[in-house]
């Protein structure tokens, strides 16, 4: 294993109201950077850049502190409230209805990278304006590995800027719908290869309960979703996957294909903990022993004897 390096995430911190078949919860601490950071903390001590408002509670700050998340870059803007989102999931958890989105102070978010973060070797650009993603890249000195996320809103509205970011990163993690919109392709293989032609040599397609695909140069690797009897709340699953992926990568310092496959397993494991409860309720209590057990389960789940023909 190579020497570990510091991991930086730039993204949203929010409060969520979520309704699923298992109930309704309000004022859950959420946001892309939140789920990413707590998941990544299973492997390393991430650095977080984001913004919260005057309603941000000390108890929620403690969640970050207790997981070793460096919040030097978390700005408190007293002029308004924290980003808030509300959603209702259908019986098919892959479908949801957004009830409201109030950007609040996040609408004025301009990432300020503390000088102590400028040496970050691993960087994850969360789902924010691509112009802001580019700005962050200009403030980090010499990262070894940069990955990004994006969404349909940015692909539709700021495609040229998204493409500029793609040309400067090593990897992108996104879902099928976003990948199809970006490339016009209809199959997972077409999406993966199409995005690689836009710049990043590494593409991770997050496919929810259908697992995830890794495109690494000419190689392809598939990891299934960890089998669960109950999925309570899918909010944050994709960000938790990204946190697990990047957290293990930063801890190991190993960019080989074999290790990127381990990153995929780490991502799937952290996402599986996330969806077992509302918000961070399950993810925040995950320790090394629980992670090891699920990794062992994955090894048994995917092991296959030789086919002698």
pLDDT per position as a tens digit, 143-156: 999 999 999 999 99
Cβ contacts of 270 within 8 Å, gap of 6 or more: 39, 42, 240, 241, 243, 244, 247, 283, 286, 291
Q: How many CA atoms lie within 13 A of 118 on its CB side?
A: 7
List the structure tokens of 150: 């994006």
Identify the three-state secondary structure at position 280.
Answer: coil
**Residue 236: DSSP 8-state:** T
Question: Which pLDDT value is given to residue 1?
Answer: 62
Q: Report residues of the chain scoring pLDDT below 50.
A: none
213 φ/ψ angles, rounded to the nearest 5 degrees: -115, 135
125 φ/ψ angles, rounded to the nearest 5 degrees: -90, 100
Question: Which pLDDT value is given to residue 2?
Answer: 72
Question: Which pLDDT value is given to residue 38?
Answer: 98
Question: Which pLDDT value is given to residue 260?
Answer: 97
Spell out the domains of the chain, with CATH numbers in brackets: 7-302 (3.40.1190.20)
Question: CA dihedral in degrees (152, 157, 158, 160; nearest 10)?
Answer: 100
Question: Which pLDDT value is given to residue 76?
Answer: 96
Identify the three-state secondary structure at position 189.
Answer: helix
Question: Which pLDDT value is given to residue 95?
Answer: 84
Residue 110, Cβ density class (10 Å: 0-12 exposed, 13-18 middle, ≥19 buried): exposed
Instruction: Identify whether the C-beta of residue 16 lies closer than 8 Å to the C-beta of residue 263.
Output: no
SS (H, E, C) 159-179: HHHHHHHHCCCCEEEEEHHHH
Instruction: Identify whether the C-beta of residue 55 lies closer than 8 Å to the C-beta of residue 27.
Output: no
Q: What angle do CA 222, 41, 20 make, to 5 degrees?
A: 70
Instruction: Identify whether the C-beta of residue 40 lies closer than 8 Å to the C-beta of residue 246.
Output: yes
Question: Which pLDDT value is given to residue 94?
Answer: 79
């Amino acid at each position: 294993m190579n020497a570990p390096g510091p991991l930086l995430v730039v993204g949203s911190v929010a409060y969520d109201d979520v309704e699923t078949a298992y109930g309704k919860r309000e004022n859950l601490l959420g946001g892309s950077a939140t789920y990413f950071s707590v998941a990544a903390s299973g492997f390393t001590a991430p650095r977080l850049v984001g913004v919260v408002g005057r309603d941000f509670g000390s108890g929620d700050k403690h969640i970050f502190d207790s997981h070793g998340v460096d919040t030097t870059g978390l700005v408190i803007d007293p002029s308004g409230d924290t980003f808030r989102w509300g959603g209702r999931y259908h019986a098919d958890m892959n479908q949801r209805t957004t009830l409201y989105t109030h950007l609040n102070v996040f609408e004025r978010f301009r990432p300020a990278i503390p000088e102590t973060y400028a040496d970050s070797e691993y960087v994850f650009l969360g789902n924010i304006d691509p112009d802001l993603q580019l700005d962050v890249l200009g403030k980090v000195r010499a990262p070894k590995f940069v990955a990004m996320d994006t969404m349909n809103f940015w692909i539709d509205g700021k495609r040229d800027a998204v493409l500029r970011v793609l040309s400067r990163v090593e990897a992108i993690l996104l879902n099928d719908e976003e990948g199809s919109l970006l490339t016009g392709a209809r199959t997972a293989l077409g999406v993966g290869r199409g995005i690689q032609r836009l710049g990043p040599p590494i593409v991770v397609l997050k496919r929810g309960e259908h697992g995830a695909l890794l495109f690494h140069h000419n190689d392809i690797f598939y990891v299934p979703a960890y089998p669960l009897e109950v999925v309570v709340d899918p909010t944050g699953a994709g960000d938790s996957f990204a946190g697990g992926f990047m957290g293990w990568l930063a801890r190991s310092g190993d960019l080989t294909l074999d290790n990127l496959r381990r990153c995929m397993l780490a991502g799937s494991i952290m996402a599986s903990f996330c969806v077992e409860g509302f918000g961070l309720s399950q993810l925040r209590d995950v320790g090394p022993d629980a992670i090891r057990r699920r990794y062992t389960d994955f090894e048994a789940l995917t092991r296959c004897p030789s086919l002698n023909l």
